Amino acid sequence: MESILKNKYYLYFTEFFAGMSVMAVELGASRLLAPYFSSSQIVWTIIIGTIMIAMALGNIWGGRSADKNPNPDKLYTRLMIAAIWIAAIPVVGKYIILAISAVLIMTVNNNFLILAGFVACMVIFVYPLFLLGTVTPSLVKYTVDSLDDSGKTVGTLGAFNTIGSIIGTFMPTFVTIPAVGTSITFLIFSGILLVLSLVYFISKKAKKVSCAIAAVLFLLCSILGHSGRFAFWENSLLYEGESIYNYLQVKETKDSIILSTNVLFGVQSIMKKDDSLTGMYYDYALAAPLMAGIDGKEAGEILILGMGTGTYAKQCMNYFENVSIEGVEIDQKITDLAGKYFALPDTVEVTTYDGRAYLQAIDKKYDVIMVDAYQDITIPFQMSSLEFFSMVKEHLKEDGVMVVNMNMHSEEEGNINEYLSDTIANVFDEIYIADVRGSTNRELFAAESAEILQKLTEGINRLENGELADMMHRVSGELVKYEKGNLLLTDDKAPVELLGMSVIDGLIQREIGYYKEVFEQDGIQGILNAM
């Protein structure tokens, strides 16, 4: 022990790598949970809160343990256990999340997202982070020789921990997760902790059996958990990976190519192999160019905020000959996938940027601006506020139209769509909504011109494509004028996550209601028989 720890540097390095690993695990947790629970502020709050609980308990227990038995063997044993636990997360984490979700979805009626996320974090992450929380108080005990230099020693430990935490924050986000994925990121930092422990025990020629077992377990976890498959039940994936912002999944069906982001079962973008209508909200949104009279202009200009893989852009190009389309997409990886799997033409200019920041940076006006940046509970608050929609209005031409895709339709009073609609209605004079058949989406059309319905009718009459004309007749018949309310979202106050969570609870209850009744009557076997 004295040979490796006599100058304290090994203890300092232990503090450094422990701090690094804590932050790396925290960021890895967000990516592990995102495909199942989204990447909203609520999920981040759960992760941070859970980790703080684990670290606080670890600090308390670690300090008391070090006072009772100041033996570094204990610390490095805990590091070894934490390393193996973290290495096992890519192997069993997704199954634990699904099991917890399955139990809770049958037993709770409200706050499913919060409860499922919290329980999953407690089960998967609390124990290893509790063990890592014991590092600092233990190292203080081992490194402080006297009160004369205790301040300097503790300060040095704190500095090493902080620097490690900084690196552990940036490295997963900008290096390991984009390059090799979440699973291997867990394995990398688990390996660092394991090496720290093994070097210590090898130098002491102690716990040879424990070290061998730990090494074998880590190797098994590396073999079994390196793939990073989240949607392990899917057999038709063209691509599965991660970017800085999202979990990404490209799936091929008989007639379509589909992109899902963060939520495993949703559809973020779609391409029909025969270039027909999608059967989704994009078809409804095609009314916006007609409302703006694009078909009667020499050149119509369309801006899409939340480009995705370009579904709406391709549809506009397919059905309107005289359009120029620009897109804004914050995730460059999605744009790359658009070119590779979704045949987005090179003529469509896509800027990698935040939608609101893009509007702030330009002066150009458009005939149509589509806002398609909302994904389930993950709604960027800065693109939902009164100030944002005022900015959109400033970038529309005199007869321009804004179309917004709202994807969590609910009949409950005070729901997220009502807030968004009221907010928009306080900016624009003419507001019409249409609920998309067979989905939870609602399309909102906003303009200053009172002639948008007339232009829509005139545009429909000029359409040569029968499929599109039929679709537009349906939209025209389903449009409802929206009456302004006083539920406003502003830059200062936009609780979009909580509002969205309430809608999700309602959607879950409606979708799972039948199976809950079966479960209450016949248990698990009843569910299996009903499926």
Tell me the per-residue pLDDT of 471-507, one tens digit each, with 9 for 90 and over: 999 999 999 999 999 999 999 987 877 777 666 666 6
H helix or E strand, kind and range, residue 239: strand 237-242
Provide the 8-state DSSP code for 267: -
Q: Is 232 helix (H, G, I), strand (E, B) or coil?
A: coil
Please tell me the number of Cα atoms within 13 Å of 431 on its side-chain side.
20
Whether residue 105 has pLDDT greater than 60 = yes
The 10 Å Cβ neighbour count of residue 518 is 19
* pLDDT classification of 98: cutoffs 50, 70, 90: confident
Of 220, 213, 383, 411, which is closest to residue 304 (Cα–Cα)? 383
Q: Are residues 465 and 484 in the same domain?
A: yes
Q: Are residues 461 and 521 in the same domain?
A: no
Q: Are residues 61 and 206 in the same domain?
A: yes
Q: Is 146 helix (H, G, I), strand (E, B) or coil?
A: coil
The span from the CA of 332 to the CA of 244, in Å, is 9
Confidence at residue 407, expressed as pLDDT on a 0 to 100 scale: 80
Whether residue 513 has pLDDT greater than 80 = no
Q: Are residues 352 and 489 in the same domain?
A: yes
The span from the CA of 106 to the CA of 517, in Å, is 9
Q: Are residues 165 and 314 in the same domain?
A: no
Task: Please check whether residue 41 lies inside any domain of the structure.
Answer: yes
The span from the CA of 76 to the CA of 131, in Å, is 10
Task: Tell me the mean pLDDT in the region 108-137.
Answer: 89
- Percent of the chain exceeding pLDDT 90 equals 59
Whether residue 7 has pLDDT greater than 70 = no
Q: Are residues 502 and 473 in the same domain?
A: no
Q: Are 181 and 89 in contact (CB under 8 A)?
A: no
pLDDT digits (tens, 9 = 90+) for 406-441: 987 667 777 888 999 999 999 999 999 999 998 888
Task: Please check whether residue 235 lies inside any domain of the structure.
Answer: no
Structure tokens at 297: 């202009």
Task: Please check whether residue 265 lies inside any domain of the structure.
Answer: no
DSSP letters for 57-123: HHHHHHHHHHHH---HHHHHHHHHHHHHHHHHHHHHHHHHHHHHHHHHHHH-SS-HHHHHHHHHHHH
Which single residue is written with the structure tokens 């890519």? 90
Task: Please check whether residue 248 lies inside any domain of the structure.
Answer: no
Q: Are residues 58 and 82 in the same domain?
A: yes
The span from the CA of 35 to the CA of 245, in Å, is 12
The answer for residues whose C-beta is within 8 angstroms of residue 498's C-beta and 6 or more apart is 42
Last residue of a domain, one of 225, 252, 269: 225
Please tell me the number of Cα atoms within 13 Å of 344 on its side-chain side.
24
Q: Are residues 359 and 442 in the same domain?
A: yes
Confidence at residue 495, expressed as pLDDT on a 0 to 100 scale: 80
Residue tagged active-site, from 372, 376, 422, 505: 372
Taking every pair of Cα atoms in the chain, the longest distance, rounded to a whole number of angstroms, is: 89
Q: Are residues 64 and 119 in the same domain?
A: yes
492 is a catalytic site residue: no
Task: Please check whether residue 255 lies inside any domain of the structure.
Answer: no
The span from the CA of 248 to the CA of 230, in Å, is 10
CATH number of the domain that residue 14 is part of: 1.20.1250
Q: Are residues 147 and 289 in the same domain?
A: no
The answer for residues whose C-beta is within 8 angstroms of residue 438's C-beta and 6 or more apart is 279
- The residue that leads in pLDDT, 374 or 457, is 457
C-alpha triplet 519, 521, 526: angle, nearest 5°: 50
The span from the CA of 11 to the CA of 31, in Å, is 30
The span from the CA of 134 to the CA of 141, in Å, is 11
Of 419, 424, 407, which is closest to residue 493 (Cα–Cα)? 419
- The sign of the torsion formed by the CA atoms of 294, 295, 300, 304 equals positive
Q: Are 192 and 218 in contact (CB under 8 A)?
A: no
Confidence at residue 227, expressed as pLDDT on a 0 to 100 scale: 61
* pLDDT classification of 285: cutoffs 50, 70, 90: very high
pLDDT digits (tens, 9 = 90+) for 24-51: 999 999 888 877 777 777 888 899 999 9
Task: Please check whether residue 368 lies inside any domain of the structure.
Answer: yes
Of 84, 105, 91, which is closest to residue 37 (Cα–Cα)? 105
- Percent of the chain exceeding pLDDT 70 equals 88
pLDDT digits (tens, 9 = 90+) for 317-373: 999 988 999 999 999 999 999 999 999 988 899 999 999 999 999 999 999 999 998
Last residue of a domain, one of 225, 242, 262: 225
Q: Are 186 and 177 in contact (CB under 8 A)?
A: no
Confidence at residue 410, expressed as pLDDT on a 0 to 100 scale: 67
C-alpha triplet 261, 262, 267: angle, nearest 5°: 40
Whether residue 53 has pLDDT greater than 80 = yes
Domain, as residue range, for 451: 277-494
Q: Are residues 398 and 531 in the same domain?
A: no
The span from the CA of 317 to the CA of 257, in Å, is 18
pLDDT digits (tens, 9 = 90+) for 459-480: 999 998 999 999 999 999 999 9
C-alpha triplet 279, 283, 288: angle, nearest 5°: 170
The 10 Å Cβ neighbour count of residue 450 is 9
- The residue that leads in pLDDT, 191 or 153, is 191
Please give the sequence-ordered ranges of beta strands (E in DSSP) within 390-501, or none if there are none: 396-406, 430-435, 442-447, 480-481
Q: Kindly report the average pLDDT of the chain as a whole number.
A: 87
pLDDT digits (tens, 9 = 90+) for 173-193: 889 988 888 889 999 999 999
Q: Are residues 403 and 528 in the same domain?
A: no
* pLDDT classification of 147: cutoffs 50, 70, 90: low
Last residue of a domain, one of 205, 225, 245: 225
Question: What's the total number of domains in the chain?
Answer: 3
The span from the CA of 290 to the CA of 195, in Å, is 64
Task: Please check whether residue 240 lies inside any domain of the structure.
Answer: no
The span from the CA of 241 to the CA of 229, in Å, is 8
For the chain, the C-alpha Rg in angstroms (whole number) is 27
Confidence at residue 362, expressed as pLDDT on a 0 to 100 scale: 95
pTM of the model: 0.80
